[in-house]
C-alpha cells in the first residue's frame, strides 16, 4: 500500500491544518533494480587490460585510497569450494595490479589442494597461470582495519587470453545475464545464512569446541549472550553495504541467523562471502578480548552440522523473478500456492533436478548428516508447499519460494548458477510440479506414500550430478572437472578415514 506523500493533508482542525512531511519510499525491489545490472566481464584478458573506462575508474579509486589512508589491498578470487583466495598488495602498487592483474597457478581455483594420490586437484603444476583482474566496483575499505581494502577479481587463462572456465564468480555473471536475457526478467536472490558462534581452549583440537550459548530457539536472552559479536557483525556489515536485517537465535548452541535483503545474484554471493570474512574477523577480535573466557579461541563456524541432536546450519536460497517495473512475475494470487505459471514451471525445474543440485547445494560429507538427523525440519523429500517447512521447496510468501537443501558450507556462486539453470529448464519444458503438499510430509511418508528423497550421502549426490546434464551445464568445461575432482577426493578421504565413532563402537566388539 502506498503511504501519504509529502504535501498530502492528513488532518484538519479549525485554524490549523497538518501536512505530512515524508517522502514515499521506493520498494526494496526498486532499490535493487536502481543499482543496475552487473555486466559480463571483459571477454579477453587484453580487452580487460586495455579498457580506458577501467583506467579512469582506477584513478578515481586511487584518490579514495589516498583520502582514506589505505596501505594494503587484498585482491581476492573465489575458489570452487567457496574459499576466498588471492594476493595482498601494497597500496603503492594499486595502479599496476588493478590494470594488469596478478597471476597465480591455476590450482588456486581448487585452493591448491592435493588429492589422496598427491596430485594437484584440477590442474597440475606443469600448467600455466591464471590472471586475476579487479572488478573495480567491488573495491571497499575493511571496517575492522581501516588501513586495508579489498576488491573481488575475475580470472582469465593466460595461455588463451580467454575467461578461465574454473572461476565460479565470473561464471555466475555470465550465467545470470544469459538467462535473464532469455527470460526477459531479473533474477533476485536472498540467502539465510545460519552459523554458530563457538569457543574452544587455545591449542585444543576441533572436538573441544562448544557453542557459547544454549540451544534455545528464538530466546532473546541467548540472543543477548551473542550481543557482543552481533553488534560488531552488524556494524561491519553496514559499512560494507550488506545490511543484515532480521536476526534470531536458532535452536543449536551458539547458532545465529542474520538475513540479508534480496539482491542480484552476484551481489548476493559477494555479500555472503563478505559476511563470512567479517564473521571471522569478529571472532579474531573477540578472541583477543577474551569475550567468552580468557584462554579461549572464539570461532565463527559455517560447518553444516557440528552437533548431533540439534539443528544444522542451513542457507536457504529465496528467489523470484521481477519485470522492469519490479513486479513479481512468480506471483498469482489464484494459482497453486499463489504461484504463477512461470513460477510453477521454474520450481518444477528445481524439483526435477533436485538430486543433482544437492551435489552443489549440500557440498560436503557433513552436509548429509543434516538430512539423517531427523526431527529438525530437514528438507529430505522432493515436494513443495505453501509455508510448509517439511518440504524441499517452501513457498514463503506470494511469488517467493526457497530451496531448502542448501547449507552454509555452500559456494553461493555455484548454487545460484545451478538453481538458475534448473529453473530455466523447467520453464523451457513447462514442467508441472503438481499440487502443493499441505500436510507434514513425514506423516505422509509414514502412511506409505512414496516420495523421492535427497541423496543419502555426498557420493550419491556426485553420481546424480554426473548424470544431470542441465545442472552440469551450470559448471562449464573445466569448472565441472575441478569441482568433481575436489569433491570426489573429499568423499574418498572420508570413506578411508577411521572415526571416533568407529573406535567407540568396534574396538571391543569381540570376543
pLDDT at site 25: 52
SS3 76: strand
In this structure, what C-alpha cell is assigned to residue 13? Answer: 482542525
Q: What is the mean pLDDT of the chain?
A: 92
Percent of the chain past pLDDT 90, that is, above it, reads 81
User: Residues 474-486: pLDDT tens digits?
Assistant: 999 999 999 999 9
Q: Comparing C-alpha atoms, which of 219, 459, 228, 230 is closest to residue 363?
A: 459
Is the pLDDT reported for residue 76 higher than 90?
A: yes
Q: What percent of the chain has pLDDT over 70?
A: 94
Phi, psi of 339 (to 5 degrees): -110, 145
Confidence label for 17 from pLDDT (cuts 50, 70 and 90): very low
State the Cα–Cα distance between residues 132 and 45, nearest whole angstrom. Answer: 9
Q: Is the pLDDT of residue 418 over 60?
A: yes
Say yes or no to pLDDT of 9 above 50: no
Q: 53-67, 180-194, 203-217, 368-382: lowest mean pLDDT where?
A: 368-382
- The pTM (predicted TM-score) of the whole model is 0.93
Q: What is the pLDDT of residue 446?
A: 84
Q: Is the pLDDT of residue 15 over 70?
A: no
Confidence grade of residue 167 (pLDDT, cut at 50, 70, 90) = very high
> CA-CA distances (angstroms) from residue 423 to 269, 342, 361, 372, 470?
18, 10, 15, 27, 10
CA distances from 186 to 37, 195, 430 (A): 9, 29, 19
Question: What is the pLDDT at residue 2?
Answer: 37
C-alpha dihedral sign at 271, 276, 281, 287: positive
Instruction: Output the pLDDT for position 26.
Output: 65
Contact 33, 186 (CB under 8 A): yes
Give 276 or 399, the one with higher predicted confidence. Answer: 276
Structural domains in the chain plus CATH codes: 45-164 (3.10.20.70), 177-494 (3.30.590.10)
Does the pLDDT of residue 260 top 80, yes or no? no
Which class for 45: exposed (0-12), middle (13-18), buried (19 or more C-beta within 10 A)? Answer: buried
Give 425-468 pLDDT, tens digit per residue. 999 999 999 998 888 888 888 888 888 999 999 999 999 999 99
Is 70 exceeded by the pLDDT of residue 13?
no
Q: Give yes or no for residue 16 having a pLDDT over 90.
A: no
Categorize the per-residue pLDDT at 27 as very low, low, confident or very high, splitting at 50, 70 and 90: confident
The predicted structure's pLDDT at residue 375: 67
pLDDT of residue 20: 39
Is the predicted pLDDT of residue 334 greater than 90, yes or no? yes
Q: Give the C-alpha separation, 334 to 313, whole Å.
A: 34
Q: Which of 403, 246, 385, 390 is nearest to 318 (CA)?
A: 403
Name the band, by pLDDT with cuts 50, 70 and 90, for residue 277: very high
Question: Rounded to an integer, what distance in angstroms lies between the CA atom of residue 371 and that of residue 262?
Answer: 27
pLDDT on residue 142? 98
**35 pLDDT exceeds 60?**
yes
pLDDT tens-digit map of 292-333: 999 999 999 999 999 999 999 999 999 999 999 999 999 999
Q: 3-class SS at 394?
A: strand
Q: What pLDDT is stored for residue 356 in this prediction? A: 98
Amino acid at each position: 500500500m502506498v503511504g501519504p506523500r509529502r504535501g498530502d493533508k492528513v488532518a484538519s482542525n479549525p485554524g490549523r491544518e497538518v501536512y505530512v512531511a515524508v517522502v514515499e519510499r521506493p520498494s526494496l525491489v526498486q532499490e535493487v533494480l536502481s543499482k543496475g545490472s552487473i555486466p559480463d566481464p571483459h571477454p579477453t584478458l587484453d580487452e580487460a587490460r586495455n579498457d580506458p573506462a577501467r583506467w579512469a575508474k582506477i584513478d578515481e579509486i586511487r584518490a579514495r585510497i589516498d583520502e582514506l589512508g589505505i596501505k594494503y589491498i587484498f585482491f581476492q578470487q573465489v575458489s570452487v569450494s567457496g574459499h576466498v583466495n588471492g594476493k595482498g598488495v601494497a597500496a603503492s602498487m594499486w595502479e599496476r595490479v588493478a590494470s594488469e592483474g596478478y597471476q597465480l597457478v591455476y590450482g588456486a581455483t581448487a585452493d591448491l589442494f592435493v588429492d589422496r594420490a598427491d596430485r594437484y586437484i584440477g590442474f597440475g603444476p606443469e600448467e600455466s597461470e591464471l590472471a586475476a583482474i579487479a572488478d573495480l566496483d567491488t573495491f571497499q575499505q575493511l571496517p575492522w582495519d581501516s588501513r586495508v581494502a579489498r576488491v573481488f577479481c575475475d580470472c582469465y587463462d593466460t595461455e588463451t587470453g580467454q575467461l578461465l572456465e574454473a572461476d565460479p564468480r565470473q561464471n555466475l555473471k555470465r550465467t545470470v545475464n544469459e538467462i535473464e536475457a532469455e527470460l526477459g526478467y531479473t533474477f533476485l536472490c536472498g540467502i539465510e545464512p545460519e552459523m554458530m558462534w563457538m569457543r574452544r581452549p587455545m591449542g585444543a583440537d576441533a572436538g573441544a569446541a562448544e557453542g557459547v550459548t544454549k540451544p534455545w530457539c528464538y530466546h532473546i536472552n541467548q540472543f543477548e549472550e551473542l550481543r557482543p559479536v552481533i553488534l560488531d557483525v552488524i556494524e561491519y556489515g553496514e559499512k560494507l553495504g550488506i545490511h543484515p536485517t532480521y536476526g534470531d537465535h536458532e535452536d543449536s548452541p551458539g547458532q545465529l541467523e542474520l538475513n540479508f535483503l534480496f539482491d542480484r545474484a552476484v551481489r548476493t554471493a559477494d555479500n555472503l562471502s563478505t559476511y563470512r570474512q567479517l564473521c571471522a574477523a569478529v571472532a579474531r577480535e573477540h578472541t583477543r578480548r577474551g569475550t567468552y573466557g580468557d584462554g579461549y579461541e572464539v570461532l565463527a563456524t559455517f560447518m553444516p552440522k557440528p552437533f548431533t541432536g540439534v539443528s544444522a546450519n542451513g542457507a536457504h536460497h529465496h528467489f523470484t523473478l521481477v519485470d522492469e517495473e519490479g513486479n513479481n512475475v512468480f506471483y498469482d494470487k489464484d494459482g497453486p500456492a499463489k504461484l504463477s505459471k512461470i513460477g510453477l514451471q521454474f520450481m518444477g525445474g528445481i524439483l526435477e533436478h533436485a538430486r543433482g543440485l544437492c551435489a552443489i547445494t549440500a557440498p560436503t560429507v557433513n552436509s548429509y548428516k543434516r538430512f539423517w538427523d531427523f526431527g529438525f525440519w530437514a528438507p529430505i523429500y522432493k515436494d513443495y508447499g505453501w509455508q510448509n517447512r517439511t518440504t524441499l521447496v517452501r513457498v514463503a510468501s506470494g511469488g517467493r519460494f526457497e530451496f531448502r537443501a542448501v547449507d552454509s558450507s555452500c559456494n553461493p556462486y555455484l548454487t545460484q548458477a545451478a538453481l538458475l539453470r534448473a529453473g530455466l529448464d523447467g520453464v523451457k519444458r513447462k514442467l508441472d510440479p503438481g499440487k502443493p503438499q499441505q500436510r507434514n510430509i513425514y506423516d505422509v511418508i509414514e502412511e506409505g506414500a512414496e516420495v523421492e528423497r535427497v541423496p543419502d550421502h555426498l557420493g550419491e549426490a556426485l553420481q546424480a550430478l554426473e548424470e544431470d546434464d542441465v545442472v552440469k551445464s551450470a559448471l562449464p568445461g573445466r569448472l565441472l572437472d575441478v569441482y568433481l575432482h575436489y569433491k570426489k577426493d573429499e568423499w574418498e578421504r572420508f570413506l578411508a578415514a577411521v572415526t571416533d565413532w568407529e573406535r567407540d563402537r568396534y574396538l571391543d566388539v569381540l570376543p
